[in-house]
Structure 1
Amino acid sequence: MKRSIVLTAVAVAFISTSAAAQSVGEKTGVNSVLGVAPSTADFVKEVAISDMLEIQAGKIAEQKGSAEEKRFAAQMIADHTKTSSELKGLVTSGEGVQIPSGLDSSSQSKLDKLRETKPDNFASQYDPMQVSAHKDAVSLFERYAKSGDNPKLKDWAGKTLPTLRHHLEMAQALDNDRK
């Protein structure tokens, strides 16, 4: 029993140190589970991709969604366009951090699935996707605001958190209304 506890502790320590060194932890969700702050490069990448996905998914929702989803989507487009612009203003190329110009394969897959969804089934795809995306965003921003290594981005993450928490509440209400 003691041996398994020690092995588990060693495994967790190994994962957390290798995750920080290799950025694998953010991609796999290990950092979130362990409460480890993402690297600045991972934070910027995740925020930029999340914003792009929210904006593009919102545009689809404006076409296929219910009146409530269309209102929510308009808010997501406006707010995530604003955070994208703010992020670009905070990140300078001299810091060795690059803002991605397109979606990663996972996000593109989610977007493709939304595009293929018929309007009658749209809520069953879009609503839970929004809850999940905003839970992830809140976790990402909380961890970076607490322990990020870039003071400007750390401050911005903290200031952006209330809006993201509100988005999560809105997404949960949208998803609950669907059920």
Structure 2
Amino acid sequence: MNRQDFLRATALTSLTAISFYYNSWPAAAGVPSPAEFVEKAGIAGNFEILSSELMLGSTNPEIKPFAQKMISDHKAAAEELKAAAGGKYPVPDNLDKKHRELIHKLKAADNREETYVKMQVKAHQEAVELFGKYIKEGSDAELQAFAAKTLPTLQMHLDMIEKISSQSS
């Protein structure tokens, strides 16, 4: 192989690697499709419910009421998501691998309340970002309306859990 062929092969390999890298980015880097939004929103809600159910035995006077509110609000949001999806997009009734691992980590945690609070802060930050992005740039009007209706509740949850987090630090 001469120098020119080597340079062409190197350039082609580099372009292929760059293309693969950019195409492998998660949808969260851009605007999710309606089906991706429903999947992510559904999984996030399921995680909120399941992780909060684990905290119902907490004796912490802030954690237990917060967990109860998460269960109630996210069950209501799940029903609204199903209605907004209108049978066009499947709504998950379980967790993905990432969220199953988080539930396992929460169950195994020595300081379950602290772990729960950290998980809730991160989960609600991600949800607020997802819903905000979908409101602005999503392509399904019914799902945008659902996101717009739900976002203030998610923001309220985030504010609540950040307050709990700052008080326990």
Regarding TM over 0.5, the answer is: yes
Say which of 154, 160, 163 aligns to 1:173: 163
C-alpha separation in 2, matches of 1:151 and 1:65: 42
Residue identity in the other structure for 1:155: A
Identify the structure with the greater helix proportion: 1
- When Rg is computed on C-alpha atoms for both structures, the one with the higher figure is 2
C-alpha separation in 2, matches of 1:86 and 1:151: 14
1:50 maps onto 2:40 in alignment? no
Residue identity in the other structure for 2:159: E
Taking the TM superposition and a 5 Å limit, the aligned residue runs for 1:1-179 are 15=22, 18=23, 24-26=25-27, 29=28, 31=29, 36-64=30-58, 66-93=60-87, 95=88, 97-118=89-110, 121-179=111-169
**1:65 Cα deviation from its structure 2 partner:** 5.2
- Size of the aligned set, in residue pairs, is 151
Deviating above 6 A after TM superposition, structure 1's stretches of 4 or more consecutive aligned residues are: none
**1:147 Cα deviation from its structure 2 partner:** 0.7
Is the partner of 1:63 in helix, strand or coil? Answer: coil
Q: Percent of counterpart pairs with the same letter?
A: 32
- Are residues 116 and 65 of structure 1, via their aligned partners in 2, closer, same or farther at CA, if it must alter by over 3 Å? farther
Q: Per chain length, whose mean CA-contact separation is higher, i.e. which structure has more relative contact order (CA < 8 Å, sep 6+)? A: 2
Q: Structure 2: any 5+ residue segments left out of the alignment?
A: 1-17
Is the partner of 1:64 in helix, strand or coil? Answer: coil
Q: Structure 1: any 5+ residue segments left out of the alignment?
A: 1-10
**1:117 Cα deviation from its structure 2 partner:** 2.2
TM-score for both structures, normalised by structure 2: 0.83
Is the partner of 1:67 in helix, strand or coil? Answer: coil
Are the counterparts in 2 of residues 37 and 146 from structure 1 also a CA contact under 8 Å?
A: no
TM-score for both structures, normalised by structure 1: 0.78
- 1:114-141 Cα offsets, whole Å, 9 max, x none, are 11224xx112201111000000000000
